[in-house]
Amino acid sequence: MDQHTRLDVILGKRIAGSLEKNLGLLTIADLLENFPRRYLQRGEFSEISSLPFDEDVTILARVISSSTRTMRARRGTITDVVISDSDEGGPVLSSVKISFFNGFNARQKLQPGVLALFSGRVGSYGGHLTLTNPDFILLDEAVTTAADAAAMAKLPIPVYSATAKLTSWTVQRAVAMVLDQADTDHWFDPIPEWLRTRERLPGLSQAYRMIHQPTSVEQCYWARKRFRYQEALVLQTALARRRAETAQEVATSRPGVLDGALTAFDAQLPFTLTAGQRRVGEELSRELATSHPMNRLLQGDVGSGKTLVALRAMLQVIDSGGQAALLAPTEVLAAQHAESIRRTLGTLTRDGLLGPGDGPSVSVTLLTGSLPTAARRQALLDAASGDADIVVGTHALLSDNVTFFDLGLVVVDEQHRFGVEQRDVLRSKADAPPHLLVMTATPIPRTVAMTVFGDLETSVLDELPDGRSPITTHVVGLVENPRWEARLWQRAREEADAGRQVYIVCPKIGEGDSLADDDGGEALALFGAPAGGDGGAQELTGVVGMLEALRAEAALQGVRVEALHGRMPPEDKSRTMAAFAAGEVDVLVSTTVIEVGVDVPNATLMVILDADRFGISQLHQLRGRVGRGRLPGTCLLVTRLEPDHPSRERLAAVAATTDGFELSQEDLKLRREGDILGARQSGGRSTLKLLRVIQDEDVIALAREDAQELVAEDPGLEGHPALRMAIENYLNPEKEAFLERG
């Protein structure tokens, strides 16, 4: 039986169906790679006082008492069992009461003193902790592999992710049956022998047994170490192959010219480049001049001047006869980018009316889905004919009917909104693959860069241009400072009176809406908002209601207040944004549509309402919209949560530092990797199992080197069929299709 054998062949329809439905497991390899989440050990009780409320748990506990009564209303009995984590004879500190309806089995087996595993959802009833949908298994039944009692006492008990429908021990039994019947000794090992020997890792078959049926804690560790390395190796080999493929590609060299648009642009620049901009600029310039496609990720905190670096690269390409495309995550941003590029180019902009003048000139075209038909047709034509040097747009640029005359460079702003596939589509729009520059303001730790963006080289802008004003951030807790609610609008008024502008950010658009991920529908934030649900039942502040309230607000009479959100018609959005940029609007009430890139130097105050609903990096991005000019910026994080609510830690963290890198580390600590490596980010749909992007930096770095070596020697992985298969399995989004081929 090989890896792809369906589970029902061994387990029968019922159990196999349940494994598929509850855990998404189809094949025996799926089941064997569904590793225990943790292990329990005899004598190590689960701490009952710290059980997570409203979650499914599997715990090891001792029965303290058991009693059965007859129900009055209908026929049947209730068996109440009290379990505890305290040792035999010791004082009972915390306990859980479980009620079984007609629980014949429970009544028989759960005698006082007995040790058992219990599973269910943690709840409370009548002031007592309870488990709903309870299920249990006696400890001695759970551990079936030990030969004798002495060995059994030391056996770690695997605990799998479980639900009310599928207990941990059902999974454990299924695994045992598969291990008995599948001949895993004959399976090919994805880790090549020499690497396994060098790293002293157990072989595949042995490791399956050790991770699922360990006879000691050491075995668990050893097996987990192996699978962690395996995971890193599969991922890194996939990336190394991708890199090897791109290295084969031939791109058009775009060396630029001495007296072209770039030179003219630099001469008219009103400021000097930062050292980082110069360094990265040279890096890009060199790579654009080669006949290999550049594949580069440019990281830099909000306001570090990435767009300027990108623009200079575009000019070099244009000077070499090519076109450049800039992709922005939203229409608002695309329009803003086009506008600010035209402004930055100044007299170098060719506006179509003047025709070709003496010196170099550059034409900038906006191409978005919401352009009026005639304008859109013209933009398409300009892109196709080469009249447009720079084409700015959203993912609409990816649609089939957009063609370029000679696309030399693709710049993607805010990488985390675009997946690998979308990058590929754009790159396929040129005869030779264009050079690619991806910009992100979210600082990405090294290992994440190696994992998620492993096929890109990285450049960093690590300083802000001189003369940037500092941003001060305060947490405004309305519970402890109710008077601040009125004070907020007073503060907004003061800014407006001083001729400055204010952003007010709300977590959603209108009443009845859920949390808005409001940026035109293409949202997939690398560091998005945390899962909601911790703010209690309070109605969240919405843009629509807030606009009304502020217009009626006494303190804001005579102040021009407008709203901006993703459900507005695109023309209205652009008009409002332009009016705000021009200073014709004092206060802009909006959702996170303004999160990235929007640049209004005169905006000095940002009020974020229900700020606890946003993630750390999102808050950091948002506040980067103020303090962009000479004037210092202030950001107020308004919350209605109690001072000791855990979500307020995030707010405190954001208020404590403006260092984006520090914050992103903090952010990673607070969230699970699964959220970071969404399917589209990692290039496949799988998320990581054992590998932890931050903690396992060493493993990832090691696997990256090994993968590089493997691929260099054997690009097709002909000598490593199991590794090749593991990669396909990992990358293949349609597992079903894969199964049919396999």
- The contact set with ligand ADP (CB under 6 A) reads 271, 273-274, 277, 300, 302-308, 441, 465, 599
Work out how close the CB of 414 gets to Mg ion at its nearest, in angstroms, rounded to a whole number. 8
Residue 162 near which of ligand ADP, Mg ion, none (CB within 5-8 Å, type-dependent):
none
Q: Which is nearer to ligand ADP, 192 or 624 (CB)?
A: 624
Q: Which is nearer to Mg ion, 307 or 617 (CB)?
A: 307
Work out how close the CB of 728 gets to ligand ADP at its nearest, in angstroms, rounded to a whole number. 38
Residue 303 near which of Mg ion, ligand ADP, none (CB within 5-8 Å, type-dependent):
ligand ADP
Cα distances from 514 to residues 211, 326, 465, 501, 585, in angstroms, run 41, 32, 38, 28, 28
Q: Which is nearer to ligand ADP, 660 or 683 (CB)?
A: 660
Work out how close the CB of 311 gets to ligand ADP at its nearest, in angstroms, rounded to a whole number. 8
Work out how close the CB of 306 gets to Mg ion at its nearest, in angstroms, rounded to a whole number. 6
Beta-carbon count within 10 A of 511 CB: 10
Residue 690 near which of Mg ion, ligand ADP, none (CB within 5-8 Å, type-dependent):
none
Cα distances from 283 to residues 65, 279, 437, 450, 571, in angstroms, run 72, 6, 12, 20, 39
Work out how close the CB of 458 gets to Mg ion at its nearest, in angstroms, rounded to a whole number. 17
Q: Which is nearer to Mg ion, 167 or 307 (CB)?
A: 307
Q: Output the 3-class SS for 5-45.
A: CEHHHHHHHHHHHHHHHHHCCCEHHHHHCCCCCEEEECCEC
List CB contacts of 574: < 8 A, sequence separation 6 or more.
Answer: 331, 332, 335
Q: Which is nearer to Mg ion, 125 or 271 (CB)?
A: 271
Work out how close the CB of 404 gets to ligand ADP at its nearest, in angstroms, rounded to a whole number. 24
Please state at what angle helix 616-623 crosses helix 660-670, rounded to 10 degrees. 150
CB 425 within 8 A of CB 273: no
Cα angle 671, 673, 677 (rounded to 5 degrees) comes to 125
Residue, CB closest to Mg ion:
597
For 413-423, give one letter per residue: b (16+ CB within 10 A) or e: bbbbbbbeebb
Residue 143 near which of Mg ion, ligand ADP, none (CB within 5-8 Å, type-dependent):
none
Work out how close the CB of 299 gets to ligand ADP at its nearest, in angstroms, rounded to a whole number. 10
Residue 277 near which of ligand ADP, Mg ion, none (CB within 5-8 Å, type-dependent):
ligand ADP
Work out how close the CB of 414 gets to ligand ADP at its nearest, in angstroms, rounded to a whole number. 9
Residue 631 near which of Mg ion, ligand ADP, none (CB within 5-8 Å, type-dependent):
none
Kindly provide the residue ranges of all beta strands, DSSP E only, lying in 71-214, ordered along the sequence.
77-84, 95-101, 115-125, 128-138, 156-159
Q: Which is nearer to ligand ADP, 409 or 641 (CB)?
A: 409
Place of tokens 């940002």: 606
Residue 304 near which of Mg ion, ligand ADP, none (CB within 5-8 Å, type-dependent):
ligand ADP
Four-residue CA torsion sign, 90, 94, 97, 103: negative
Q: Which is nearer to Mg ion, 307 or 442 (CB)?
A: 307
List CB contacts of 149: < 8 A, sequence separation 6 or more.
Answer: none
Tell me the β-bridge partners of 411. Answer: 326, 437
| CA–CA distance, 25 with 46 (Å, rounded to integer) | 28
| CA–CA distance, 386 with 382 (Å, rounded to integer) | 6
Work out how close the CB of 348 gets to ligand ADP at its nearest, in angstroms, rounded to a whole number. 15
* Spatial CA neighbour of 440 closest among 416, 462, 465: 416
Residue 101 near which of ligand ADP, Mg ion, none (CB within 5-8 Å, type-dependent):
none
Residue 570 identity: P
Q: Which is nearer to ligand ADP, 260 or 465 (CB)?
A: 465
Q: Which is nearer to ligand ADP, 304 or 617 (CB)?
A: 304
Kindly provide the residue ranges of all beta strands, DSSP E only, lying in 139-204, ordered along the sequence.
156-159
Footprint of Mg ion (CB under 5 A):
307, 597
Work out how close the CB of 337 gets to ligand ADP at its nearest, in angstroms, rounded to a whole number. 9
Q: Which is nearer to ligand ADP, 126 or 467 (CB)?
A: 467
Q: Which is nearer to Mg ion, 344 or 687 (CB)?
A: 344
SS3 assignment, position 682: helix
| CA–CA distance, 214 with 310 (Å, rounded to integer) | 54
Work out how close the CB of 330 gets to Mg ion at its nearest, in angstroms, rounded to a whole number. 12
Residue 633 near which of ligand ADP, Mg ion, none (CB within 5-8 Å, type-dependent):
none
